[in-house]
Amino acid sequence: MEKHVLALQLSHMLGEKFTREWIYENIEVPKQERMGDLAFPCFKLAPAFRKSPQEIARELSPQLKHDLFERVQPVSGYINIFLNQEFTTEHTLKQILTERASYGMHRFGEGKTVVIDLSAPNIAKPFSMGHLRSTVIGNALSNLAEHCGYKTVKINYIGDYGTQFGKLLAAYKMWGDEESVKSNPIAELKKIYVRFHEEAKENPELIETGRGWFKKLEHQDEEAVTLWKWFKDASLEEFDKIYELLGIEFDLTRGEAYYNDKMKATIDLLKRHHLLAESEGAQVVHLDKEGLPPCLITKSDGTTIYATRDLTAAIDRYGSYSFDEALYVVGHEQSLHFQQIKQVLGKLHFPWAQDVKHISFGMMLQDGAKMSTRRGKTILLENVLKEAIQHAKVNIEEKNPELENKEEAARQVGVGAVIFHDLKNDRRNDVEFSLSDMLTFEGNTAPYLQYAFVRACSLLQKGAFDPYTADPDLNDENAWPLIKQLRVFPQIVEAAYKEYDPSKVAKYLLELARLFNQYYTHTKILEGEQLQKKLTLVYGFSIVIKKGLHLLGIEAPKKM
Ligand code: ARG
């Protein structure tokens, strides 16, 4: 709100050369408190006005006036603004009271659609840590986008096609056992797939057999298709268990294979644009000018590949949704692939190619090394989630044995711990997998935030707080840091979406909970004067922490 007030007032003063949006974007929050609550740097104005930034700040400062502003001070080229405590407190609490779960919403995404490609595990393979990262980051971005007004479409682009399925079919025909696959599909299929690779080292003919089965699949051979469908359905069933634990749903689950009969149109389009070139029997799009290696479209044996399917899927998605942004939440080892896709779409003159964005993330490391499925040492995600839930349950059992619905609370706490462990880091960084770190219920974890929410709920209940008669007119010096933190929530949501960085919200929540706990320690909330007014602040805190956790995809039990 104060950012909008400031931008509006400055835009009236600065005239046409600087738009209100530009001014808004340039408003800063000073790192040091003594520099004020907001600051506007005047350096970029200097050339236009042919004055020094210092002079401009000195001239503009006295003209800025609003009830929200306590003091406006020019300091070395900056306009520093201090907010009026009383007015801001009342204004903030009133706003949270009326907006509740809509607090922090924006309208800049209204009328726009964001398509998010997330999760995308591969059938017949375990759901990896990388897929977990994609799932939770993508889901948080989707929630943030919605809070900014966008319509979102979450697509789970299952890896259900490629030459590896020829190998898998061959392996199943040689060593597969129906009953074992039925009872434990992913583990069993993985086992025979690994065996295929091992035996192929000794016996290279196997590779040919695998190729043969892939050809059969490509040509819709009945047996091949039936087996493949079975593997797919069984895998999806396993993945669904994970999605259910995580509490995540998709708008569309559509695998790579869906595009098989649609790729010809893409290849024709590339031909019409004279983009296809022959290279050692394969068809490629050269990207020398773009400084990239060629993008492979069809292999020498005529089979299509990953890139061709992604191009086709992108074109299809634009046709269905006319998206304003298409986000691909995929590990950074696929950076080159997505650069190539974007460039090829650009060469096809699709204006929306520039709205295709690879939202990359780092690896999940185990003792400093990449966790890999092939070494067979992968920690199974489902087990991680179950262990986290179990741990939460033991904890609840200890602290609150009387609690109703222990199972549900344990799920929310355990799963929340796993999600937060991922989202609290900048997504581009690698994350060290540590079950014990995730599950510490003190420190920078989800349970720490959830506990703060529980504490707030319990205060509200004990104080018989009623939001309908709440009084936001709190006058309490100790509450100021917490109020200011509540106040910046909308800005954090905006920045987190615009920079595709959910960790901004995670870090914000840790500081919010810290300030709340500090207030709780120093102030006897349920005693003395202004009791209901203090509870209004507690209520405000409860709304914002719950909303913030929800944006990250984490639930907040009222009791735990
Ligand atoms: N299934 C792929 C993998 O596990 C990820 C797919 C990502 N999405 C995409 N549109 N390419 O590596």
Ligand 1 atom showing the smallest separation from residue 334 Cα: 12
Q: What secondary structure letter does DSSP report for 293?
A: P
Average pLDDT, the chain: 94
From the CA of 311, how far away is ligand 1's center (Å)?
13
Q: What is the pLDDT of residues 101-156, one digit of tens each?
A: 999 999 999 999 999 999 999 999 989 889 999 999 999 999 999 999 999 999 99
For residue 486, the tally of other CB atoms under 10 A from its CB is: 26
If pLDDT is split at 50, 70 and 90, which confidence band does 370 have? confident
**DSSP sequence for 477-543:** GGGHHHHHHHHTHHHHHHHHHHTT-THHHHHHHHHHHHHHHHHHHHS-TTSSTTHHHHHHHHHHHHH
Q: What is the pLDDT of residues 406-430, one digit of tens each?
A: 999 999 999 999 999 999 999 999 9
If pLDDT is split at 50, 70 and 90, which confidence band does 468 have? very high
**DSSP sequence for 305-344:** -HHHHHHHHHHHHHHHH--SEEEEE--GGGHHHHHHHHHH
Ligand 1 atom showing the smallest separation from residue 338 Cα: 11
If pLDDT is split at 50, 70 and 90, which confidence band does 375 have? very low
Q: How far apart are CA 251 and CA 253, in angstroms?
A: 7
Tokens of 471: 């009084």
CB of 122 shorter than 6 A to ligand 1: yes
Closest CA to ligand 1's atom 5: 120
If pLDDT is split at 50, 70 and 90, which confidence band does 374 have? very low
First vs last Cα of the chain: how many Å apart? 35
If pLDDT is split at 50, 70 and 90, which confidence band does 304 have? low
- The length of the chain in residues reads 560
From the CA of 119, how far away is ligand 1's center (Å)?
8
Q: Are strands 282-285 and 276-279 parallel, antiparallel or unpaired?
A: antiparallel
From the CA of 475, how far away is ligand 1's center (Å)?
54
Q: How far apart are CA 106 and CA 52, in angstroms?
A: 35
Q: How far apart are CA 550 and CA 144, in angstroms?
A: 10
Q: Are strands 78-83 and 38-41 parallel, antiparallel or unpaired?
A: antiparallel
Q: Which SS3 state, helix, strand or coil, does residue 70 take?
A: strand
From the CA of 498, how far away is ligand 1's center (Å)?
23
Q: Kindly state the helix (H) or strand (E) to which residue 75 belongs, with its residue range.
A: strand 69-75
CB of 330 shorter than 6 A to ligand 1: yes
From the CA of 410, how far away is ligand 1's center (Å)?
32
Please report the pLDDT score of residue 9 as a whole number: 95
Give me the percent of the chain exceeding a pLDDT of 70: 98
Q: What is the pLDDT of residues 170-179, one digit of tens each?
A: 999 999 999 9
CB of 117 shorter than 6 A to ligand 1: yes
Please report the pLDDT score of residue 163 as a whole number: 87
CB of 97 shorter than 6 A to ligand 1: no
From the CA of 159, how far away is ligand 1's center (Å)?
6
pLDDT mean over 220-249: 96
Site to substitute for ligand 1 among 330, 345, 371, most atoms within 8 A of C-beta: 330
**73, β-bridge pairs:** 80
If pLDDT is split at 50, 70 and 90, which confidence band does 554 have? very high
Q: Residue 205: which residues within 8 A CB-CB, separation 6 or more?
A: none
Please report the pLDDT score of residue 377 as a whole number: 54
Position 338 pLDDT exceeds 50 = yes
From the CA of 184, how far away is ligand 1's center (Å)?
24
Q: Which of 487, 485, 473 is nearest to 530 (CA)?
A: 473
Q: What is the pLDDT of residues 186-224, one digit of tens each?
A: 999 999 999 999 999 999 999 999 999 999 998 999 999
Q: How far apart are CA 250 and CA 545, in angstroms?
A: 25
278 burial class (0-12, 13-18, 19+ CB within 10 angstroms)?
A: exposed
Q: What is the pLDDT of residues 46-71, one digit of tens each?
A: 999 999 999 999 999 999 999 999 99
